[in-house]
């Protein structure tokens, strides 16, 4: 009997159908929102189009929500299916964030304690599967690392994530218990709703909250930490916009400028999907 089974993280929580619906709905809702620099319903970008992401959401859902599957298996199988369907990495960060949430949602009890147990029970098999998914996706700006490089043997997954945490927000989430979702994402979503915003502007608000608080890891990998920090400052200035007025023109102006500079705040978009997913999973 595994540690997860002993702590009750079995099939007695949310049914896989509900988890699947929540995941797919979150992916599609994020695409509906105007997210400057990223791909969205208002504009394509970075040689990617909306249809690639819709297909990715559809094709990855059964694997992400696979009943009883371990975290690494969900990520690996969903990534492989995505690459086969669209031929490029559209969702690795989303899968890495949403797979532990999906696993935790299958259990009775509070989702956050369950999530801590899921992260604590990650084993060598999870690490091997996640490394395989990363190699399959070959994310932009990955480069190599002196220790725990994804082209080498897989170490314990949380140890590898801890090594990458100073430079990667998704890796840091595995170390902090996904604290940014609870400290940034959910409060931003609640505040947007309290202001009377409706989707997709609630989603835009969440995206800007992440981008304005944490230098985007994807931008930092490709353009360096200084450019990621300056982008964060530019995003913080956008918080002055009144999203209730649907400021499409102002956001699209920033969208064009960032895309022309090759800046894609993809990590902030990944955290936005994960926040919407978490919101769906909570009672």
Instruction: Give the pTM.
Output: 0.91
Tell me the chain's radius of gyration from C-alpha atoms. Answer: 18
How sure is the predictor about 215, in pLDDT bands with cuts at 50, 70 and 90? very high
Interval 94-120: pLDDT, tens: 999 999 999 999 999 899 999 999 999
51-109 residue pLDDT tens: 999 999 999 999 999 999 999 999 999 999 999 999 999 999 999 999 999 999 999 98
CA distance 109 to 122: 19
Q: Do 260 and 2 meet the contact criterion of CB atoms below 8 Å apart?
A: no
Give the other-Cβ count within 10 Å of 3's Cβ.
11
pLDDT confidence tier of residue 1, bands split at 50, 70 and 90: very low
Per-residue pLDDT at 143 exceeds 70: no
The beta strand positions in the chain, using DSSP E, are: none
For residue 14, give Cα distances in angstroms to 96, 129, 253: 20, 24, 42
Q: What is the pLDDT of residues 259-268, one digit of tens each?
A: 999 999 999 9
Phi-psi region at 215: left, alpha or beta (left = phi > 0; alpha = psi -120 to 50): beta
Q: Is 48 helix (H, G, I), strand (E, B) or coil?
A: strand
Listed range (30-44, 131-145, 172-186, 204-218) with the worst mean pLDDT: 131-145
């Amino acid at each position: 009997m595994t540690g997860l089974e002993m702590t009750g993280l079995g099939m007695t929580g949310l049914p896989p159908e509900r988890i699947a619906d929540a995941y797919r709905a979150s992916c599609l809702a994020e695409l509906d929102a105007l997210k400057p620099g990223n791909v969205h319903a208002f504009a394509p970008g970075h040689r990617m189009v909306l249809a690639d992401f819709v297909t990715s959401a559809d094709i990855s859902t059964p694997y992400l929500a696979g009943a009883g599957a371990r975290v690494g298996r969900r990520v690996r199988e969903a990534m492989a299916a995505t690459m086969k369907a669209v031929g490029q990495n559209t969702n690795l960060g989303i899968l890495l964030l949403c797979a532990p949430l999906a696993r935790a949602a299958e259990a009775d009890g509070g989702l956050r304690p369950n999530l801590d147990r899921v992260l604590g029970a990650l084993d060598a098999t999870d690490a091997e599967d996640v490394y395989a998914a990363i190699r399959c996706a070959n994310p932009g700006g990955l480069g190599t690392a002196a220790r725990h490089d994804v082209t080498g043997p897989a170490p314990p997954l949380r140890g590898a994530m801890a090594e990458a945490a100073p430079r990667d927000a998704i890796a840091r989430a595995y170390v902090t218990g996904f604290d940014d979702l609870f400290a940034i994402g959910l409060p931003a979503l609640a505040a947007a709703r309290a202001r009377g915003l409706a989707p997709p502007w609630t989603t835009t608000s969440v995206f800007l909250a992440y981008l304005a608080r944490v230098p985007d890891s994807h931008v930092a990998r490709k353009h360096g930490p200084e450019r990621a920090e300056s982008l964060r400052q530019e995003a913080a200035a956008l918080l002055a916009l009144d999203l209730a007025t649907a400021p499409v023109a102002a956001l699209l102006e920033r969208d064009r400028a960032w895309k022309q500079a090759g800046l894609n705040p993809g990590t902030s978009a990944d955290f936005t999907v994960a926040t919407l997913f978490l919101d769906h999973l909570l009672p």
